Amino acid sequence: MFDTILFDLDGTLTDPKIGITTCVQYALKALGIIEEDLDKLEPFIGPPLKEQFIKYAGLSEEQAIYALEKYRERFQSTGLYENEIYEGIDGMLNKIKAEGITIGLASSKPTVFCKRILEYFHIEHYFTVIMGSELSGVRSQKAEVIEEALRQLGKQTEPEFKRVIMVGDREHDVFGAHRIGLPCVGVAFGYGGYEELKNAGADCIVATVEELTEVLIKKQLK
């Protein structure tokens, strides 16, 4: 039985594909790397961006930092709003809040952008804690974000952790949750897909927002 849910943002509550991939495309172009197919840039949705620039494009640490700066140059004014909330998310949050469940956000995206996105979709009022990384790069790993969210929620002991679950769409959501000792519900409608979530060891995998709502309302994964 759980009483607190931490949600990932990108690919879990919203579909940010256009905003993220076009901003990545913009950043790579600044380094002379041209990628016309936005589908190929989907791996950037979810994981810490600097790491993905290094992994995807073989950039050096210095180049990745520059790419991240260029990414944010476009993202903060335009890409932030090239985003859509998944159908049924508002209703789901309303239902689980009515059940007395505490809701928090734990995203690898900088906190300042997380807050603006939740406000843009008028769902920020559901969240007791909104936690992300810092623009400086501090707290970029998922486990670190989850730990800080739990600290701000006043949950810092193992018995308290047993009443918290993570919900996300990528393997790093699962790995981060498990590192802290939390179970993780994987959402296959996001960008990781069923196989990635299964291989990562997600404790439960759902295919739709409706199925996710049903699992969360029951307040238990089994």
Residues with a catalytic annotation lie at: 8
User: Identity (one letter) of the amino acid at 13?
Assistant: L
Residue 149 in tokens: 């969210």
Count of Cβ atoms closer than 10 Å to residue 42 Cβ? 15
Q: Which residues contact 48 (CB under 8 A, 6 or more apart)?
A: 108, 133, 140, 141, 172
Torsion of CA 215, 216, 218, 219, to 10 degrees: 130
Residue 24 three-state SS? helix
Residue 189 in tokens: 């409608």
Helix (H), strand (E) at residue 68: helix 61-75
Residue 222 in tokens: 């089994």
Count of Cβ atoms closer than 10 Å to residue 102 Cβ? 18
Helix (H), strand (E) at residue 4: strand 4-7
End-to-end Cα, the chain, rounded Å: 9
